[in-house]
Amino acid sequence: MIDMTTKTKYPKIGIRPIIDGRLGGVRESLEETTMNMAKNVVKLFEEELRYPDGSQIKCIIPDFCIGGVKEAVDCQDLFSTNSVGVSLSVTPCWCYGTETMDMDPHLPKAIWGFNGTERPGAVYLAATLAAHNQKGLPAFGIYGEDVQDLNDNEITPDVKHKLLTFAKAGLAVALMKNRSYLAIGSVSMGIAGSMINPDFFQDFLCMRNEYVDSSEVFRRIENEIYDKDEFEKALKWTKENCKEGEDFNEKTQQRSRQLKDDDWKFVVKMTLIIRDLMEGNPKLKEMGYGEEAMGHDAIVSGFQGQRQWTDFLPNGDFPEAILNSSFDWNGKRAPYMVATENDALNGVSMLFNYLLTNTAQIFADVRTYWSPKAVERVTKWSPDGIAKNGFIHLINSGSATLDGTAQQTKKGKPVMKPFWDISESEVQACIDATTWYPANVGYFRGGGYSSGFLTKGEMPVTMCRLNLIKGLGPSLQIVEGYTIDLPENVHKTLNNRTDKTWPTTWFVPNLTGKGAFTDVYAVMNNWGSNHGAISFGHIGDQLITLASMLRIPVCMHNIDETRIFRPSAWNSFGMEKESSDYRACQTYGPLYGTN
């Protein structure tokens, strides 16, 4: 068995130490200071950042400083042969801008100009950002708020925050490049997000699109093209850990015990097969299936399910939920990004969140806005606290990550962690908090199981959604807020009005009092589709940075302006940040586009 955590050829961060090229005293006096500045950044990144498998971020620095065009070209050659996916230039001094700048049009790039008075690093920063903007090669500018001494090796908190925000977003861009979105099946129930747009994937993400018919999953089950030993291990784990809930179907519609037991076997096989379709499995080659063993190099996938599949076969809720989680029968591991109903746009939204946080993602319908008035009418309870203005019910057919139970903790608070930080007891707590209900056969005629759980409250989360708009292209929506707890009787009353066999997250967005965030109703009313991707943490600023790298405008967010970090060129497109974002993205076009 192989999983995504074994992928070792991760992109590196390239650090470019830029120096005043004048020999004869000036350059020599700055060599050590400049190289130490680069090494300090490497130390920061290695301490703070991890690849999806939990391994330490790798950086590369040339063994020379860059004082002119020859050294800039040598550095570019070094980067191109060492899998560098992100470029950061650092300098404490004045240097020759256009001679030393990074000219690669596809690498996310930033410049840190040291704020010190002994040497004008800020002057180089300003001059070279101007050169980037004039040449149409957007770069992020990093400049500390407080003057430091030239020999001060501390990276101040404001600079540290920008360096990490840039690096996380840049690595997300690099990690997506040349990977695949795998569509298993086609369009689900007319959902536009599952109408795959290959131009978007190619031009904005530099990703391939791979396609297999849903029948390929069925073929592999029928022909036993899966690791049989692992299947037995997985089925045993499932029987021991995944507790089956009450069957709420009408008695006449309930499946027999034999059919339910067969469904468990079927959905476990589906899980193995969808994973193998995404990344391959060398075990299959040993079994004589060399082509199937290769997989599709998919960093994200989607399973159509409804309706052609689910009208006669068990649904995909179990494989989607387990794959989207940070653990299974093999223990803790990196989560897979698998979109319900083949909603590729929500799959990409999940992927954005995941690559920025290394945490599993909740896939959910943005189902219902509950106003205080409606809640009180139905339950006789008046919402209070952060729920006083109402809340949104996030719920989908049992495909959300089991990490979304929020049974993991940090400093006594509910969280969702990267898999390497999750304890075995927290894994078990997530499993124990989940009940697997026989599928609602009104929706899923072929049976199967749906996960049911309730997300703990008081957890900071960010919901995002990518949409495609004709004439505009992609746009991103972002909402930061919190999960909430409701009184048990209130939760049951509201939850029973929809499908109580599905996982529920009660969500309150942070309000700004204006626009789409005037109130909770406005957030719901301005949401652009039926699905959302929900991540642990308030990462809206990181999503904005990532979107600007990809040239995707943000049409809706509740992030304070002081947290927004975009390339320097965006400042030249107007004083209103969101309008300038649209104009800049339109001017530069998609990162990998031809215009």
Q: What is the DSSP string of 147-186?
A: ---TT-----HHHHHHHHHHHHHHHHHHHHTT-EEEEESS
**Length reported for the chain:** 595
Looking at residue 1, what is its pLDDT?
34
Within 10 A of 41 (CB to CB), how many other CB atoms are there? 23
| Tokens linked to 212 | 């297999």
Start-end of CATH 3.40.50.1070 domains in the chain: 4-176
Q: State the helix-helix crossing angle for 344-357 and 157-176, rounded to 10 degrees.
A: 140
- Is 31 labeled as ligand-binding? no
| Tokens linked to 509 | 């967005």
- Is 279 labeled as ligand-binding? no
Q: How far apart are CA 183 and CA 194, in angstroms?
A: 8
Question: Angle at Cα 413 formed by Cα 407 and Cα 417, nearest 5°?
Answer: 55
Start-end of CATH 3.20.14.10 domains in the chain: 180-588
Looking at residue 116, what is its pLDDT?
79
- Is 531 labeled as ligand-binding? yes
DSSP strand E in 396-503: where? Answer: 408-410, 413-415, 435-438, 449-452, 460-469, 473-483
526 close to 514: Cβ distance less than 8 angstroms: no
Instruction: Report, as residue numbers or ranges, the catalytic residues.
Output: 341, 365
| Residue listed under structure tokens 């399973």 | 303
Looking at residue 121, what is its pLDDT?
79
Looking at residue 122, what is its pLDDT?
85
Fold of 180-588: L-fucose Isomerase; Chain A, domain 3 (3.20.14)
Looking at residue 9, what is its pLDDT?
83
Looking at residue 120, what is its pLDDT?
74
Looking at residue 153, what is its pLDDT?
84
Domain 4-176 has CATH 3.60.15.10: no
Could you tell me the CA-to-CA distances from 279 to 229, 299, 300, 337 in Å, in that order?
Answer: 19, 8, 10, 12
Looking at residue 75, what is its pLDDT?
97
Within the chain, which residues score under 70 in pLDDT?
1-8, 594-595
Looking at residue 253, what is its pLDDT?
95
Please compute Rg for the chain using Cα positions.
25
pTM of the model: 0.96
Instruction: Mark out the alpha helices in 398-533 (DSSP H runs).
Output: 424-432, 488-495, 520-526
